[in-house]
Chain A
Amino acid sequence: MQHADPHGELIVIEDHPLLRAALALALRTEGFVVYATGETSAALGLLAEHPAVAAVVLEIDFGPGRQSGFAFTDAARRLRPDIGIVFLTGRADLLVGRDTGPQEAHLVKPVTVSRIAAAVRRVAHATLPPVT
């Protein structure tokens, strides 16, 4: 799918199926091309497959025994050092003491869709040259 905005592609990783669908729909309405998955391993595949993806919106805590959002972020950055990360989590306690930096944003559920969209645009644009 071709898109005018080169920063407009993103991946959503959310293990709650209904929430995943709602977020994908809402972010599409905001003008993004959205690939949604409930698995971090599948997300890594999507990241390799779609070089235009500029940001990942993800939960941190996917339950015991599952790869955490932090571990996924490390793997994603090895694959794509420029990737923007937006943590959208129900676990504010996990974000305590973690630096954001220009490539990362921290949001605690629930937040407005417009704030998620703004965070995506910020972290995506932080790492790519301006569009001319």
Chain B
Amino acid sequence: MSYDTSVAEQFALLLQRRTRQQVLIAAFGRFALKQIGRPALMQEAARLAAEGLHASFAKVLEHEAATDTLIVRAGVGWGPGVVDQVRFPPGATSPAGYAFAMGVPTFSNDLPNDHRFGLPKLLADNGIRREVNVVISGETGPPFGILEVDDTADGVFSDDDVYFLESLANTLGLALERDRVNADRDRLLDERGILLSEVHHRVKNSLQLIHTVLTLQAMDAGNAATRALLELSAMRVLTIATVHERLYQGDSFESVEMQAYIIGLVEALRVGLADMVPGRSIALDADPGTYWPPRRAQALGLILTELVTNALKYGKGEVRVRFAGTLPPGGARLEVEDDGTAQDLDAARSNDGVGLRIVRTLLDEHSGTLTFVPRPAGTQVVAVFAPQPTVA
């Protein structure tokens, strides 16, 4: 800046520089929204920092917690062997280290004679005489590092230049924080997924163990009645597994679409029970559009499984399952019928006490009722779920 420039001209130049800096900050804000990754983000910040201050050198230093050093991650003006290689310790041995350690911006227009901090080799080798350093931080957590602008030529960095650089660093800090939060969330989601599949794996191992031991005990049983009871228990383990399996597929803890759930469950029952009762079929008619929370869906799944098992065990002919949502929303009616006689139904009610007790207990929890409906031909069992005001 020469001394014969008039004050008006100087003011016009200054204004032009401030306006340009505002434009650059706005541009960087838009750039940071693009989520293009940390290296490109840091590089763009360094480029705009140098441009805004009409300087030839700029760099972004990241604080690496493991080594407690500031490492150059992006820069303009420096030669090879600097990015990802040169490090400064926090402290008074460099302007960047000083700014980071003190947590305040620094600027100097006469570095070789500034005794607050030393002049590192990288700056000395490049003939750096002036610097501005500002801290990059997000809203939470430790600061990320330092945004630094350097120049060789004579001239003056001003307070306004520091404000510009701070605005740029704040935008960069928020963008880096967003990336950090995203990375943390992805890692947590990954860990959660691995943990969940491990839990499911263990549950399945346990169910296989229980089923196998019950089967062995059934083979060993002294009389037919005991054997039948143990086989029933072994089968119950498999059907409970089916209900769980259907629900946790896709790891969803949100509402369950009941038609899809029941179709899948009945299909699994057809396959699973085929060994037990050859020649009996299961027909299904389920209405779409009912969404239930997993706990409620699971209760219905267990009830449906028990009633179908009973119908196969004590009834005759085809087993017909019907599911319909009722009004107000959240209520439902589940019907299971077959061609058995009233005596068959009595046998089911007296022989399978445990199964029906389970059904009644589950229904109680959901304000439901269980009714045995006598019909001219065949038998029908109806489970009614009362509407639930809090259904999602």
Contact = CB atoms under 8 A, between A and B. Distances in A.
A113 B205 contact: no
Contacts of B238: 110-112
A110 B234 CA distance: 10
A71 to B, nearest CB: 18
Contacts, number: 60
Contacts of A93: 197
A16 interface: yes
Interface in B239-272: 241, 245
B365 to A, nearest CB: 26
Contact of B200 (A88, A90, A113): A90
Nearest to A64: B194
B211 A110 contact: yes
Contacts of A26: 212, 215-216
B204 A113 contact: no
A116 B201 CA distance: 18
A16 B211 contact: no
B155 to A, nearest CB: 58
A12 B201 CA distance: 18
Nearest to B251: A93
Contacts of B200: 90-91
Interface in B197-242: 197, 200-205, 207-213, 215-216, 219, 234, 237-238, 241
B205 A109 contact: yes
Contacts of A115: 275
Q: Give the interface size class of chain A.
A: 20 to 34
B219 A110 contact: no
B373 to A, nearest CB: 33
Contacts of B207: 109-110
Contacts of B241: 109-110
A90 B275 contact: no
Interface string A94-132: 000000000000001111111100000000000000000
B238 to A, nearest CB: 6
Nearest to B207: A110
B216 A29 contact: yes
Contacts of B205: 16, 19, 90, 109
The majority secondary structure among interface residues of chain B is: helix
Given A90-B205, A109-B204, A22 B216 contact: yes
Given A25-B216, A110-B237, A112-B238, A18 B209 contact: yes
B202 A90 contact: yes
Nearest to A61: B201
A23 interface: yes
Contacts of B201: 61, 90-91
Interface in A53-85: 61
B227 to A, nearest CB: 14
Contact of B204 (A22, A90, A112): A90
B216 A109 contact: no
Contacts of A110: 204, 207-208, 210-212, 237-238, 241
Given A110-B237, A112-B275, A29 B219 contact: yes
Nearest to B209: A19
Nearest to A94: B197
B212 A19 contact: yes
B197 A91 contact: yes
B208 A19 contact: yes
Contacts of B202: 90
A131 to B, nearest CB: 25
Interface string A1-37: 0000000000000001011001101100100000000
Interface of B: 197, 200-205, 207-213, 215-216, 219, 234, 237-238, 241, 245, 275
8 closest A-B pairs by beta carbon, nearest first, are A90-B204, A90-B201, A110-B208, A109-B204, A109-B208, A110-B207, A22-B212, A19-B209
Given A109-B204, A110-B207, A112-B238, 18 more contacts: A16-B209, A19-B205, A19-B208, A19-B209, A19-B212, A22-B216, A26-B216, A88-B208, A90-B200, A90-B208, A91-B197, A108-B204, A109-B207, A110-B237, A110-B241, A111-B238, A112-B234, A115-B275
21 contacts: A16-B209, A19-B205, A22-B209, A22-B216, A29-B216, A29-B219, A61-B201, A90-B200, A90-B202, A90-B204, A92-B245, A108-B204, A109-B205, A110-B211, A110-B238, A110-B241, A111-B238, A112-B211, A112-B238, A113-B212, A113-B215
